[in-house]
Amino acid sequence: MIPIRDNILCNNKPYVSWGLILFCTVVFCLMKLMPPEAQRQFTYLYGMVPIRYSNPSWSAAFGLNFDGYFSFLSSLFLHGGWGHLILNMWFMWIFAKSIENVMGHWHFLFFYLFCGLFATFVQWYFEPDLTVPVVGASGAIAGVLGAYFRIYPFAKVVIWFPFLLLPIFFELPAIAFLGFWVIIQLQNATASLVFDELALNVAWWAHLGGFMAGMLIYPLFINDSEE
């Protein structure tokens, strides 16, 4: 199920959301201009490789020096492929504008980054021995979804169900769509503890961590004043 739009009207332009979408897209395009080996090195350097922080001797042998946990932040702006980038930026486009509208630009930026950092930490905590980079904005975006789940539970979200690419559209309340999304993340996150291939493909724990952070801390970032 792919969200198409919601029915929340916003009074302010979501400049921070647009800026984050643009920045992630530019970074991805610049990476694609690199030779394949340079792309790989860049991803290992700035993606969050969990074992880098749980096994320093492995990190040193692999040539990854301790970076002060900087990759917990930098990994939020990297993506593994066009599909990964487009899906993340699409969810950002649909849901982030409403959260930025109620938080204000700067509060939203800090909220987004905090959720992303916490999501990356949760991924490291549950999969500390992963030797592949964890990249993507999905943990931070999951925080946006968590806030949306609490603030706009009964907003109408238009969904496209891509059955044989037919134009099958229907409306769901946000609480149903995002609740289903959380169930899928939880199912796959727990399965990833048993089946390693699931952990290699998607950072399921980051999604759950970001969502829970967004649900719990969003009131701290609500901006009641006009910007």
The Cα 90–Cα 25 span in angstroms is 12
**Is residue 202 helix, strand or coil?**
coil
Tens digit of each residue's pLDDT (9 = 90 or more) over 162-197: 776 677 888 999 999 999 999 888 888 777 666 655
| Alpha-carbon span 15 to 94, nearest angstrom | 14
Angle (CA) 1 104 109, round 5° = 70
- Three-class DSSP category at 131: coil
Q: Mapping DSSP to helix (H, G, I), strand (E, B) and coil, where does residue 107 land?
A: helix
Which one is predicted more confidently, 63 or 127? 127
- Note the CATH number of domain 2-221: 1.20.1540.10
**The two structure tokens encoding residue 127:** 């999969």
pLDDT digits (tens, 9 = 90+) for 92-126: 999 999 999 999 999 999 999 999 999 999 999 99
What are the domain boundaries of the chain? Answer: 2-221
Q: Which of 202, 181, 182, 183 is nearest to 192 (CA)?
A: 202
- Judge contact between 159 and 3, C-beta under 8 A: yes
